[in-house]
Structure 1
Amino acid sequence: MSQETYLTIKGRLTADPELRYAPSGSAVTNFTVAVRAQKFDKQANEWKDQPTKFWRCSAWDQGKLARAQNIANLLKKSDNVIVYGELVTREYETKEGEKRSVDEIRVESIGKDLTFHGQAYAANEAPEQQDGGNWGGNEPAVGGGWGDQPTNQSTSPGGWG
């Protein structure tokens, strides 16, 4: 097994992902994820915020896998994301000739963290389908969009019919 270090981070995008193309034509998307950790203080019996860490990330397209383009098209500033990838150290030279290095995550997979997105439904309510369909109850659908709250209550518990 090789010496790669893989990380999973959960945080928020600090800006819209930036899509670029290498001279070879390969697409790469760069973005930064802010991770704000908390630590439990036993003496104060409460959670304390730790300094925010900023992780630079890069994602490349690979053949038919359009990871970089998908990230640039589907994610935006302040989206909560979960990122999994390899920790790599990249070296570069500044315009003044100074040699520097930076740690970044080469993204293998990424997804939106839905923990705080949207609205939760009550146990006896089910969301409606986009076309106005019903997800398991026998009554006709009301409204037609995902954001509409159902006005008919199903008589069956659990909401899934």
Structure 2
Amino acid sequence: MNDTLVTLVGNVATAPEYRDSVTGGMARFRFAVAARRWDRQKQAWTDGPTSFYTVWAWRTLAANLAGSVSVGEPLVVHGRLKVREEDKDGQRRFSADIEALAVGHDLTRGTSAFKRVTRADASLTGRRKDLVP
């Protein structure tokens, strides 16, 4: 297996977009990750530069994510790192995507209530029953 697995801790930067596809649901959102460091001179925590990732989720994870995650919430995202390269206006640009395997709220920064979803009960994710994978 040559996948590069990563675990990121950060905040939801854009609202998750959910779409149905032939293979099941798909969701994506932008994820902001900033390193926090102790500044000895100021005697305070400061944020370092922010990195942005596009997180992709499929099937059941996509539906559950779309019904559970909002902008600004702290998350832990675990998945496969994919680096894309594209030429735009004669310049090479790189972007990083994460194909999510697991997503959860960061409980060091708040509380969360877990509800198990069954295929017959789409009300828990806010999706219609005929859209739940």
The normalised TM-score by structure 1 is 0.57
The CA deviation at 1:69 is 0.4
User: 1:139 maps to what in 2?
Assistant: none
Report 1:68-107 matches (<5 A): 68-90=62-84, 102-107=95-100
User: 1:59 maps to what in 2?
Assistant: 57
The CA deviation at 1:7 is 0.8
Query: Residue deviations 1:20-51, cap 9 Å, x none?
Result: 123x2421100111112123456x37444211
Q: Where in structure 2 are there 5+ consecutive unaligned residues?
A: 112-133
Count the aligned residue pairs: 109
SS at match of 1:67: helix
- Counterpart of 1:50 (choices 48, 51, 56) is 48
- Counterpart of 1:28 (choices 23, 26, 29) is 26
The CA deviation at 1:99 is 8.4
Q: Where in structure 1 are there 5+ consecutive unaligned residues?
A: 119-161
Query: Residue deviations 1:133-160, cap 9 Å, x none?
Result: xxxxxxxxxxxxxxxxxxxxxxxxxxxx
Query: Residue deviations 1:79-105, cap 9 Å, x none?
Result: 1110000101346788x9x98653200
Paired with 1:92 and 1:20, the residues of 2 have a C-alpha distance of: 24
As a proportion of its length, which structure holds more strand?
2
Q: Which has the larger radius of gyration?
A: 1
Higher relative contact order at CA 8 Å, sep ≥6: structure 1 or structure 2?
A: 2
For the aligned residues, what is the CA RMSD? Answer: 2.5
**Cα distance change, pair 99–53 in 1 and its aligned pair in 2 (3 A):** closer
Percent of residue pairs identical: 29
SS at match of 2:31: strand
